[in-house]
Amino acid sequence: MADELWIVSDAEPAGWTIDSEGKTVTDKEYPVDGPRVNIAVPDAPLTEKQAKAIRKLIVKLRNDGVLAVYPKVGVQYPNNTTVDNVKQSLAYIRCWHDDCDEEAHSGADLGVSEGLPWVTPEAVEPPDQSVHQDALAQHSSLTAARDERKAAEPAAGVPEDQPSEDSVEGDTGDVPGQVILGEGMEGPEVEAWQAVCNEVLAQDANSEEELLVTDGKFGPDTKTVTKAVQSILGVPASGVVDNDTWVAVL
Average pLDDT along the chain, 250 residues, taken 10 residues at a time: 94 95 95 93 94 91 89 84 92 72 50 75 72 58 64 58 44 55 90 89 84 90 93 91 86
User: 55: closest CA among 97, 111, 110, 118?
Assistant: 97
Q: What pLDDT is stored for residue 243 in this prediction?
A: 87
Buried b / exposed e across 36-69, counting CB within 10 Å, b at 16+? ebbbbbbbbbbbeebbbbbbbbbbbbbeeebbbe
- Which 3 state secondary structure label does DSSP give 242? coil
CATH of domain 130-151+168-249: 1.10.101.10
CATH 1.10.101.10 residue window(s) in the chain: 130-151+168-249
Amino acid at 193: W
State how far the Cα of 124 lies from the Cα of 40, in Å rounded to an integer: 17
Q: What pLDDT is stored for residue 57 in this prediction?
A: 93
- Which 3 state secondary structure label does DSSP give 10? coil
Q: What pLDDT is stored for residue 125 in this prediction?
A: 76
State how far the Cα of 220 lies from the Cα of 210, in Å rounded to an integer: 13
| Dihedral of alpha carbons 71, 99, 59, 84, sign | negative
Q: What pLDDT is stored for residue 161 in this prediction?
A: 52
Q: What pLDDT is stored for residue 176 in this prediction?
A: 43
